[in-house]
Structure 1
Amino acid sequence: MKLLRIFLAGFALQLAAFMPFASNTLIPVAEAGLPFIDSQGKELPTLAPMLEKSLPAVVNIATSGRVRVRQNPLMDDPFFRRFFDIPEQPRERKTESLGSGVIVDASKGYILTNNHVIDKADEIDITLHDGRSFKAKLIGTDPETDIAVIQIKAKELTALKIANSDKLRVGDFAVAIGNPFGLGQTVTSGIVSALGRSGLGIEGYEDFIQTDASINPGNSGGALVNLRGELIGINTAIFSRSGGNIGIGFAIPINMAKDVMLQLVEHGELKRGRIGAQAQDITPDLAQAFDLPNGTGGAVITQVNPGSAANRAGLKAGDIVLEINGKEVEHASDLRNFIGLLRVGKKVDIKVLRDGKTRTMRAVVQSPVSDGKQGKALHPKLAGAQFGDITEGSRLYGRIEGVLVVNVERGSPAAEAGLRKGDVIISANRKNIKNLQQFKKAIKGSNKLLLNIRRGNGALFLYL
């Protein structure tokens, strides 16, 4: 407690340096600047009034589930186990995890959290700041942005006011609230260290707020708030080689999370479309080659697919995309993020620079062309899984060749064999594959399957 007081006093003194005084009267800075009387009768700013309003909106999440235990196929043979006197092994094990969530709609009980907090959970238990506990219902998830929406039926809930994360600036104060290591509700503070972080390989759609407010395991899904107590982000990940905090944490901007949440609440899922164009960042060399002024941002179109929405709208390779629906495009990832959050059929206005002149084109977001195959049609042991080619809208496009596991039904033969959604099959029966057609040919007529799989940053073999 002594250390906590020293920390709060030190942080308060830092804030006080930015607060003007006139005629010995304190001028508050937002909610966090409400006066606090110290032992000497002097007024100091404190975060406590803001936190008293914000803490009840952040919840602790505990999940439990069961996963299939991978076994050596020989263990399935009762004669083998009897001969070597090996007892029957459990086929499932119980999993538990802890995380955080944020109440964003008090009347309906909607809670925002991370997909990875509740992924594969059979039960989701919510504990409120006042100690009440509830079972939560899953409304929808979006693994690509790592956002999930759950719901509880409870009265007298407190929701956080949602800020406009597009207005954030590097240097703004930020406060992280969550449940690190299952210790209970904890508050840490810092600043916005950077904006628009992408290319980290954490999620499919990345536009992170970077902060030095301490974020640790268990903080996932918790709130990142400003000094007014307004929600600016959902804490998601840290950059660390040891697993502990080193001052580099990442949060999903609340504007992105809110867009995803609205679709999940309305439709239960996020159906992403695309316009059929690829782009890359504008480097200083490209800016010079295109005769662009120094400091010009945006993304340059590198390819437009024939017959695509972008092609019908009039986009061409070499166009410099400046804005999407009025939002400034600074990087190629912005183009993907903006389009990826729009539902199929939505109209999108694209402002481009071509031959020194700006023009605006309108495209209609279209469904991705899918050549997906149901696993049962490919092989009986793949029943319950859906496979597809890696298309241009995927974050894996151009980075790896193979067949993508699009979905796996829980309890299906494919799930019991160990396949997971997001796996990439790069070889089948020791034959390298690049697409569904080659995959189908490699496993045709085989009773057993040997699959080489890329999963995240690792690789493994599955024998079915």
Structure 2
Amino acid sequence: MPFFFFLVLGRLPLIGAESLFDTIGREVNKIFEENKNAVVRVRIEHRNGGESFCSGFFISSEGVLVTAPDSQLTDSLFYVDYNAQWHLAKVIGIDERSGVAVLQVEEGPKPFPFLKLAYGQEIPTGTPVVGIGYPYNLPACPSFGLVVGKDCEYLNHFFPTTHYRINTKVNPGQIGGPLINSKGLVVGMITMSLKEEEWSYALPSKAIRKVVDDTIRYGKVRYGWVGVAVTKIGREETSGKVVVARLFPNTPVSGSGLREGDIVVSINGKKITSLSDVMDASFFVSVGQKIPVKVLRDGKPIQFEFLVGERPIDTPSGSTILPNNPDELKKNWSQSLPVSTSPMTAPVEKTNNTH
């Protein structure tokens, strides 16, 4: 049964209102009961002796799960509460850029219950979702909300790709839990809760799949890049343009003819009108993939094709935007060049290294 929502423009009959809320409540409870066994509590024992908790969920019957720990986890141990027992989890890989950890529980009753990741187009704004997680040290519980926005940044924090903004505030321990749609499919994973706001951010399932597939295959996420930094001119909401700000030597763009100041029109066929378009286009690009990039120079269109290389491992992660202030640019260069690889589009990176 689908979700129903309404906008109260006047008085709603009491019986109708109760019936509507009952319907929503039953649907939320149904999704929770059908999927809660695949959602687990994760305990992280840190190298310094402290510990923290988050949620996670199985994505395969072999015990592979994903979570979103909130801190650097070098040499940390992960334990998963499955079937009323704590199990030491094998760390397949931790991607600091997306904040996703891919783990595997190898002990316990098999097959493991698991959730399916949604594929296809991104979900539209206004889509209802049910979250499942472990708040504080309490049992699993559901949360309910809407996708109210899609952002690539919040204040000074830049995401590697667009995240869903959910109008539900989650408590400590619920980070890493799934967001499930009315079909029972995972559309995202909670990666950030804002204490000062009544909303949370979630990494879309398509990005989760990219991280998981690369991590299982290579032991890490292979982010692509072509050696370009971009910035914007004008107002992004109106007539703003994305332009090439810097070309790095000894990279796929070297000797290509691309120039600083070229206006980026499209990447791999996707129209570029904002920096977030570039970030999304870049996140999913595969190393070794050839991508077309169209630019404008002096009002004339020019087409390029680049072979995507692998992002240098010592490239610092962070913002994908170059400061417009030249002095600030010099001061924070290593933290302001664009990074990432993306789905149907091309890569732009942030680094002060060459290779």
TM-score (norm 1): 0.59
Aligned counterpart, 2:246: 303
For the pair 1:186 / 2:141, whether they are aligned, the reply is: yes
For the pair 1:119 / 2:73, whether they are aligned, the reply is: yes
Q: Secondary structure at the match of 1:263?
A: helix
Aligned counterpart, 2:104: 151
Q: Secondary structure at the match of 2:93?
A: strand
For the pair 1:139 / 2:88, whether they are aligned, the reply is: no
Aligned counterpart, 2:174: 219
CA distance in 1 between partners of 2:153 and 2:162 (Å): 5
Q: Structure 1's 47 and 213: CA in aligned 2 closer, same or farther, altered over 3 A? A: same
Residues 299-320 of structure 1: CA deviation (Å, up to 9, x unaligned): 2223333553234444333433
- CA apart distance, 1:401: 4.8
The answer to whether the 8 Å contact 1:270/1:343 transfers is no
Residues 387-430 of structure 1: CA deviation (Å, up to 9, x unaligned): x78699987993745999xxxxxxxxxxxxxxxxxxxxxxxxxx
CA distance in 1 between partners of 2:59 and 2:155 (Å): 27
1:375-414 aligned within 5 A: 398=329, 400-401=331-332
Q: Secondary structure at the match of 1:164?
A: coil
2:268 paired residue among 325, 328, 348: 325
For the pair 1:102 / 2:45, whether they are aligned, the reply is: no
CA distance in 1 between partners of 2:333 and 2:301 (Å): 39
- CA apart distance, 1:36: 11
Q: Secondary structure at the match of 1:169?
A: coil
- The residue identity in structure 2 corresponding to 1:163 is A
2:118 paired residue among 163, 175, 179: 163
In terms of Rg, which structure is larger? 1
Q: Secondary structure at the match of 2:70?
A: helix
Q: Secondary structure at the match of 1:216?
A: coil
For the pair 1:61 / 2:42, whether they are aligned, the reply is: yes
Q: Structure 1's 50 and 125: CA in aligned 2 closer, same or farther, altered over 3 A? A: same
1:14-413 aligned within 5 A: 15=4, 46-67=27-48, 94-106=49-61, 108-116=62-70, 119-120=73-74, 122-128=76-82, 130-153=83-106, 154=108, 155-164=110-119, 166-198=121-153, 200-202=155-157, 205-241=160-196, 246-281=197-232, 283-284=234-235, 299-354=242-297, 360-367=303-310, 398=329, 400-401=331-332
CA distance in 2 between partners of 1:193 and 1:182 (Å): 28
Give the fraction of aligned pairs with identical amino acids, expressed as a percent.
Answer: 24
Residues 247-302 of structure 1: CA deviation (Å, up to 9, x unaligned): 22111112112111111111111243421212123534x8xxxxxxx966762223
Structure 1: unaligned runs, 5 residues or longer:
1-11, 19-34, 68-93, 287-293, 371-387, 405-434, 437-464
- CA apart distance, 1:343: 4.9
The answer to whether the 8 Å contact 1:165/1:233 transfers is no
RCO comparison, higher one (Cα < 8 Å, 6+): 2
Q: Structure 1's 392 and 195: CA in aligned 2 closer, same or farther, altered over 3 A? A: closer
- The residue identity in structure 1 corresponding to 2:160 is Y
The answer to whether the 8 Å contact 2:55/2:176 transfers is yes
The answer to whether the 8 Å contact 1:300/1:321 transfers is yes
Q: Structure 1's 122 and 369: CA in aligned 2 closer, same or farther, altered over 3 A? A: closer
CA distance in 1 between partners of 2:33 and 2:43 (Å): 23
Q: Secondary structure at the match of 1:59?
A: strand
RMSD: 3.9
The answer to whether the 8 Å contact 1:118/1:124 transfers is no
- CA apart distance, 1:105: 1.6
Aligned counterpart, 1:423: none
The answer to whether the 8 Å contact 1:192/1:210 transfers is yes
Residues 191-235 of structure 1: CA deviation (Å, up to 9, x unaligned): 111113325444662422111123121111111122222111110
CA distance in 1 between partners of 2:282 and 2:131 (Å): 29
Q: Secondary structure at the match of 2:176?
A: coil
CA distance in 1 between partners of 2:160 and 2:80 (Å): 27
- CA apart distance, 1:347: 2.3
TM-score (norm 2): 0.74
CA distance in 2 between partners of 1:344 and 1:235 (Å): 27
- The residue identity in structure 1 corresponding to 2:94 is T
Q: Structure 1's 66 and 351: CA in aligned 2 closer, same or farther, altered over 3 A? A: same
CA distance in 2 between partners of 1:53 and 1:327 (Å): 38
